[in-house]
Amino acid sequence: MRMTRREFAIMPAAAALAGTAFAQDAAPLITRAIPKTGEQLPAVGLGTAEVFDDNDAATRGKAAAVVKALLDHSGTLIDTASSYGDAEAVLGAIMAPKGLRRKLFIATKLEAPDDVELKRSLGRLRTEKVDLLQLHNVDDPQQSLSRFREWKERGICRYVGITSTYHRAFSALEAVLTREEPDFVQVDYSLDNREAEKRILPRAAEVKAAVLTALPFGRGRLFRAVHGKSVPDWAEAFAGSWAQFFLKYLLADPRITAVIPGTSDPAHMADNLGAMRGALPDPDQRRHMERFIAAL
């Protein structure tokens, strides 16, 4: 059975859970230091893959509402890519008129170290520079970040990074991470998909690379797994919703700099951002979370 988060959220049990969620905005904000500079980054951001692909009025309206929710709840990080349909153009259209660019940490990705692709991305985002520029879908252990570093030296970006959400490419990603020592690395990582823990997270810590985690809900698998269930009593001390349960599992690993769940719903954005407030699960609770999900 396939079920979207929206369908999950309107179920009676989920509605009751939402009614008991914490008023977490008063709790201290969880931020993480970018290892190479010490700059603090709010630990929950926004991913745009498959949610802002179409540059139409409806999509721009949803994007504007989600970005407002992000900023209203102290978030700043938005991750996009030149290959995410019209996502860059959608973000540019909502940032530029309201002067939001200066309030946001914008990360985008290029498929190759190509000046034409870079110019196109900056034009669509309506900005002269981004905070993080990433080489997307690394699949060759010999790939170089030299061109990205040149752009960094010119002030086009403040940080450079690499990404992959393909486990077959993790050997290449690990090789490039080791040799190039980028500022950031982005991988898929969720409570039911922990392959990155074995090789990528340890190597990222060694080279002092910040870690962004894509697909923290396991492409919706985790919400389907807990269909019809309430957050267990033993997790209520740190999780006010299933989204926070899943995100806080990741944030409890100090090697994780930020999680970047995608959404086009401002209520879901606010719920996600609740994961950077309040307590995080301790190691024993994390192991309990792993056993709980594995048993479903």
Domains, the chain, in order of start with CATH, read 5-21+33-295 (3.20.20.100)
Cβ distance 177 to 185 under 8 Å?
A: yes
Cβ distance 264 to 66 under 8 Å?
A: yes
Asked whether the predicted pLDDT for residue 20 surpasses 80, the reply is no
**pLDDT number for residue 27:** 82
Taking the C-alpha atoms of residue 176 and residue 144, their distance in angstroms, rounded to an integer, is: 7
CA distances from 20 to 43, 143, 217, 236, 244 (A): 23, 49, 22, 10, 13
Asked whether the predicted pLDDT for residue 164 surpasses 60, the reply is yes
Torsion sign (Cα): 113, 47, 204, 28: positive
Taking the C-alpha atoms of residue 134 and residue 110, their distance in angstroms, rounded to an integer, is: 6
**pLDDT number for residue 24:** 55
Q: What is the pTM of this model?
A: 0.92
Tokens 């309990």 label which residue? 288
Q: What is the mean pLDDT of the chain?
A: 93
Cα angle vertex 264, ends 24, 137, to 5°? Answer: 105
Asked whether the predicted pLDDT for residue 3 surpasses 50, the reply is no
Average pLDDT over residues 238-263: 98
Asked whether the predicted pLDDT for residue 199 surpasses 50, the reply is yes
Average pLDDT over residues 84-102: 96
**pLDDT number for residue 18:** 41
Asked whether the predicted pLDDT for residue 17 surpasses 50, the reply is no
